[in-house]
Chain A
Amino acid sequence: MMPYYVAPEQMMQDKAEYAKKGIAKGRSIIAMEYADGLLLIADNPAASLCKISEIYDRIAFCGVGKYSEFESLRKAGIRHADLKGYMYSREDVSARSLARAYSETLGGIFSQEVKPMEVEILVVEVGAVSKPNEIYRITFDGSIIDEHGVVAIGGRSDAILRFFDDCDHANDVSLDTAVALCRDAFAHANAQDVTVDVLEIAVLGRDRSGRAFQRITAAVHDEMDT
């Protein structure tokens, strides 16, 4: 059989289109800095299939796209972090190093495998005391983008970001306000009301020592309201 030639540009473009299509099908996740830390919030009615996860003391992960794919990335990230913390020390585990590892992994798969991963992920780290927070967005081709303030991935993330551009919020809002803003953003993007029970919410608290990751269930959220 004659080997046939496909221009590399064409091949990459096809792969990128394929991946983008997969990612846009799902729902969105927002990561947002607030006064006391980082808020992660996913439009996710499936309570048992989490899209947000703890990675290490001050580091969390979220992923959109194909569940099985970002789930294997999540697990590999936890292994990477736990191994590093065990070999060296807890303070040597950083979001930056993990984000780079994800970038290399996704980039490698994108250029070498037939099928790219249909995922986009966030690796976030809440800064201690006076250190700034870090938010890394890593796309299906391994591109890595350093983000600040508020970031949205997956589904109708463009509409969500437009909503935040328009409402001109500050970075030091309270947790309640931040959650309310994100709810409005989801409602705006989905063009329908969004209740708290279809949201998966977690925070990385700046002032928490040890493992800073905390899920906010509907019960905890009600307590916050009162």
Chain B
Amino acid sequence: MRLDLYAYAGTSFSEYVRQCRPEVLPRFGASVSSPDEVRHLGRSVPTATTILALKYEGGVVLGGDRRATEGSQIASNRIEKVYAADAHSAIAIAGTAGPCIELAKLFKTELEHYEKLEGDELSYEGKANKLAQMVREQFPMVFQGLVVVPIFAGYDLHRRQGRICQYDVTGGRYEEIDFCAVGSGGKDAQNMIKEHYHRSLVETEAINLALSALFSAAEEDSGTGGPDLVRGIYPTMKLVQEEGVVDIGDDRLAAMCMELIEAKKRRHDAV
């Protein structure tokens, strides 16, 4: 295969693929369907729900439950909703699972591609804006009931602080000061965080709060899965810090989940 040296001169991977190899990118038709069709399609493909992000003194905790649903059916018990995007940022996804996962993968490639071509990482602002563009490009899918709404968490190396952005289906980007939660259980999770949040949370407290919020969402919302002690499936959590993105291992999460459950039980029994 001969390389085409001058086919594309920019630094964006997704743009390059769209221009030179459009067949590689997912294409969801832009035709407007009838409301019934939209409802049917929206209910017949796996949908991923509750994700959340909250800041603590070292950066941001980004987490999500593991359930995907198809209408009232559970499509998957161990779907992954939180992905490291590069050394200093991570993306969590809610909405139609297929396009969501594809977006996370494309975004990760996009950041790595830029970094290799330019020799420098994009700024947090640059990454967040790029993601907004990519979400905006998916907008026509909304008319078919396919929705992609990510949360983007990063460590801003210039400001030396963690930052959080959430997006709507049109690519609208909203920076959050302290925390946010998105998806069908988002409201319950958000309420829980709001009750207990303060700005000097340390790492363990922040993870604990994120877990409690996902618990609370799982109790109220059928689209959100709680921890599965039988199969050993726990929510996914990543820490986005100055030193990099750290995956919180299942062992640590399992122990923290057990502690939370014990505490809940004690409170319940005491009543």
Tell whether A82 pairs with B109 under 8 Å between CB atoms, given A53-B116, A55-B116, A87-B24. yes
- A104 interface neighbour in B1, B13, B17, Cβ under 8 Å: B1
- CB-based A-B contact count at 8 angstroms: 56
Give the residues in chain B near A82, CB-CB below 8 Å: 13, 109, 112-113, 116
- B2 interface neighbour in A86, A87, A101, Cβ under 8 Å: A101
Output the nearest chain A residue to B119 by Cβ-Cβ distance.
A50
Give Cα A3–Cα B106 distance, bound, in whole angstroms. Answer: 53
Tell whether A72 pairs with B1 under 8 Å between CB atoms, given A82-B109, A82-B112. no
Stretch at the interface among A6-14, A28-36, A73-81: A73-81
Q: Are B116 and A76 in contact (CB under 8 A)?
A: no
CB distance from A116 to the nearest CB of B (A): 14
Tell whether A86 pairs with B105 under 8 Å between CB atoms, given A73-B5, A76-B3, A105-B2. yes
Give the residues in chain B near A85, CB-CB below 8 Å: 109
CB distance from A100 to the nearest CB of B (A): 8
Q: Which residues of A contact B (CB under 8 A)?
A: 50, 53-55, 72-73, 75-80, 82-83, 85-87, 100-102, 104-105, 108, 211
21 residue pairs bridging A and B, Cβ less than 8 Å apart: A53-B119, A73-B3, A73-B5, A76-B3, A78-B116, A79-B3, A79-B13, A80-B3, A82-B112, A82-B113, A83-B16, A83-B24, A85-B109, A86-B13, A86-B24, A86-B105, A101-B1, A101-B2, A101-B3, A104-B1, A105-B3
- A102 interface neighbour in B3, B13, B105, B113, Cβ under 8 Å: B3
Q: Chain A interface mostly helix, strand, loop or mixed?
A: helix
Q: Chain B interface mostly helix, strand, loop or mixed?
A: helix
Q: Which residues of B contact A (CB under 8 A)?
A: 1-6, 8, 13, 16-17, 21, 24, 105-106, 109, 112-113, 116-117, 119
Give the residues in chain B near A86, CB-CB below 8 Å: 13, 17, 24, 105-106, 109
Output the nearest chain A residue to B24 by Cβ-Cβ distance.
A87
Q: Other than the known A55-B116, A78-B116, A105-B3, what 7 A-B pairs have Cβ atoms closer than 8 Å?
A: A54-B116, A72-B5, A73-B5, A75-B5, A82-B113, A86-B106, A101-B1
Output the nearest chain A residue to B16 by Cβ-Cβ distance.
A79
Q: Are A72 and B6 in contact (CB under 8 A)?
A: yes
Give the residues in chain B near A83, CB-CB below 8 Å: 13, 16-17, 21, 24
Give Cα A80–Cα B116 distance, bound, in whole angstroms. Answer: 13
Pick the 5 closest A-B CB pairs, nearest first. A76-B3, A105-B3, A72-B5, A104-B2, A82-B113
Give Cα A195–Cα B116 distance, bound, in whole angstroms. Answer: 27
Give Cα A55–Cα B3 distance, bound, in whole angstroms. Answer: 15
Q: Are B109 and A76 in contact (CB under 8 A)?
A: no
Q: Are B3 and A77 in contact (CB under 8 A)?
A: yes
CB distance from B145 to the nearest CB of A (A): 26
Give the residues in chain A near B13, CB-CB below 8 Å: 79, 82-83, 86
